[in-house]
Amino acid sequence: MPDCLAPARTKQIRPDASTLRSYHSHKLHIVTDSRFVLGLVRGGLLAMERDGWPDTPLSCHWAPASSRPMFKYLLYLLRRRNASIDFSWIKGHSGVEENEIADILAKKGVETDLYTLDVSTLFTPRGWVDETPVLNHQSLSHLTYLVVRDQVTNPLLGPKFDVFREEWSAWMGEVFLQDVDLTRAFRMIWKINVPKGLKELLWKESSGSLPLGAHWHGKSPLGNECRCGRETTLTHIWEGCVCYNMWPLKEVMLDSLPVLGVGGHRVLDVAAWPPPFWFPLLCLKQLEKPLNLSKKERRALKNSRATREKIVGTYLWSVWRWRIKEIMDESFSFVPSYFVESLRKELGVG
Q: Are residues 174 and 224 in the same domain?
A: yes
The sheet with strand 28-32 has its strands ordered as: 3-7, 28-32, 85-89, 215-216
Q: Are residues 114 and 170 in the same domain?
A: no
Task: Please state whether beta strands 3-7 and 28-32 pair in parallel, antiparallel, or not at all (unpaired).
Answer: antiparallel
3-state secondary structure of 79: helix
Q: Are residues 54 and 114 in the same domain?
A: yes
| Residue 150 within a domain | no
| pLDDT on residue 133 | 62
Give me the phi and psi of 3, to 5 degrees please: -110, 155
| Residue 272 within a domain | yes
| Residue 140 within a domain | no
| pLDDT on residue 2 | 40
Q: What is the pLDDT along the chain (350 residues), one digit of tens a residue?
A: 444 444 333 333 334 566 677 777 778 888 888 888 888 888 788 878 877 777 655 444 444 446 788 888 888 888 877 777 888 887 766 777 777 777 777 777 667 766 566 667 778 877 778 777 666 666 667 666 666 665 555 667 777 788 888 999 999 999 998 888 888 888 788 889 999 889 878 887 887 766 554 444 443 343 457 788 887 788 888 887 888 999 999 999 999 998 876 666 788 888 889 989 899 998 998 888 888 888 888 888 889 999 999 999 999 999 999 988 887 677 889 999 999 999 999 998 86
CATH code of 58's domain: 3.30.420
| pLDDT on residue 56 | 55
Q: Are residues 117 and 173 in the same domain?
A: no
3-state secondary structure of 117: coil
> What is the full DSSP assignment across 13-58?
B--SHHHHHHTTTS-EEEEES-HHHHHIIIIIHHHHHHTTS-PPPT
| Residue 102 within a domain | yes
Q: Are residues 32 and 173 in the same domain?
A: no
What is the C-alpha to C-alpha distance for residues 42 and 216, in angstroms, rounded to an integer?
A: 9
Q: Are residues 210 and 163 in the same domain?
A: yes
Region of residue 348 (left: phi > 0; alpha: psi -120 to 50; beta: else): left
| pLDDT on residue 342 | 95
> What is the full DSSP assignment across 128-185?
SS-----STT--HHHHHHHHHTT----GGGSGGGHHHHHHHHHHHHHHH-----HHHH
Q: Is the peptide bond before 2 cis (omega within 30 degrees of 0)?
A: no
Instruction: Using CA atoms of 94, 98, 103, 108 in order, give the dihedral in degrees to the nearest 10.
Output: 150
Last residue in a domain, options 103, 121, 139:
121
> What is the full DSSP assignment across 298-339?
HHHHHHHHHHHHHHHHHHHHHHHHHHHHHHH-TT----GGGG
| pLDDT on residue 135 | 62
Task: Give the amino acid at 40.
Answer: L
Q: Are residues 204 and 92 in the same domain?
A: no
- Rg over alpha carbons for the chain, rounded to the nearest Å, is 24
Q: What is the DSSP letter of 231?
A: B
Last residue in a domain, options 121, 143, 171:
121
Q: Are residues 194 and 312 in the same domain?
A: yes
Q: Are residues 112 and 169 in the same domain?
A: no
CB 325: neighbour CB atoms within 10 A?
A: 13
Domain encompassing residue 30: 3-121
Q: Are residues 176 and 321 in the same domain?
A: yes
What is the C-alpha to C-alpha distance for residues 313 and 199, in angstroms, rounded to an integer?
A: 9
| pLDDT on residue 348 | 87
Q: Are residues 68 and 200 in the same domain?
A: no
Task: Give the amino acid at 289.
Answer: K
| pLDDT on residue 10 | 34
Q: Are residues 116 and 166 in the same domain?
A: no
| Residue 139 within a domain | no
The secondary structure of the chain in percent helix, strand, coil, rounded to multiples of 5, reads: 55, 5, 40
Q: What is the DSSP letter of 241?
A: B
- Total number of domains constituting the chain: 2
| Residue 115 within a domain | yes
| pLDDT on residue 148 | 64
Give 276-311 pLDDT, tens digit per residue: 989 999 899 888 888 888 888 888 888 999 999 999
